[in-house]
Amino acid sequence: MSSSSAAAAADSSEYPYEEGGYTLYSNYACPFAQRALRAFHVAKVPYKLVEIDLQNKPTWYHLVNPQLKVPALRTPSGDLLIESLVISEF
């Protein structure tokens, strides 16, 4: 499985995502985000990982998840999923 990690810049005007692929917005310390990460590893689905600093959220993150929580998933079609259980079942 190939996954890449990108640091989320707090001053980006657009949010980062993998064109035509899955992008998982996560934080290593969040158990809900870990659930989604484990599901991707088990399914062996390639994805781009964007770590979100929960103490200093990027200004663009509301475009991904208006609740400003992790995890969130952007699908290849551009749909955004924001609940860890929904992401895991997807």
Residues 23 and 48: beta-carbon distance below 8 Å? yes
Considering 30, 68, 80, 82, which one is annotated as catalytic? 30
Identify whether 30 is a catalytic site residue. yes
**Four-residue CA torsion sign, 77, 65, 29, 86:** negative
Q: Are strands 22-26 and 72-74 parallel, antiparallel or unpaired?
A: antiparallel
Residue 3: its H or E element:
strand 3-7
Catalytic amino acids? 30
